[in-house]
Amino acid sequence: MVGLFVLEKAANFGQARVNPRTLDELRARLTADLSAEEVMNVEVEAYAITDWLVGGAPTDGDDDERVARRDGDVILYDPSAAPVELIRRALDESFELQIDYFSRRRGEMNTRRVRPIALEAETYLRAWCHARRDERVFRLNRITRCVPITGRPFERPTPAVSSSSEIGPRQISLLDDD
């Protein structure tokens, strides 16, 4: 099972020649009798081994403020940010999220209010779920939307209108002598 998870991670970066459908079928067979918690624990170990072998991706904290930031009681956020980026900020800044989550077991989309606790293996969100009143584990690739509870999208600056009479970029030719 660890080998399968390593292959899946390699496939995410285009570094495996195995058909993704084959990986999905193998995952379904190997994990059929396991709980979500058991699968997550094995996957966490597999990704830790992979990161140890090839080195983990460095994180750059400079863009954190562009993803989400507090403004009093409101969280200003970038609505185009990936859910995992907003989840990381929620963990750092301790704010709750509303997520749209596809439950494969039930085959339906749910909206949940969660308090993130931890990211596991860059694949799972461990969070307190208000609807279930219990700690739950969510696969990141099944979260389709993520919004801070007290969130408001950043206001985008309006582009300045040029007063120049020239419209569009000036075209130049590589054959010009000038």
Please give the average pLDDT of every successive group of 10 residues along the chain, which has 178 residues.
Answer: 77 71 85 84 76 58 67 81 87 90 82 92 89 91 87 64 49 48
Q: Are 46 and 130 within one domain?
A: no
Terminus-to-terminus CA distance in the chain, angstroms?
Answer: 64
Residue 161 in any domain: the answer is no
Could you tell me the pTM of the whole model? 0.57
Residue 178 in any domain: the answer is no
Question: Could you tell me how far CA 56 lies from the centroid of its own chain?
Answer: 16
Residue 173 in any domain: the answer is no
The range of the structural domain enclosing residue 130 comes to 61-153
Residue 7 in any domain: the answer is yes
pLDDT for 81 equals 80
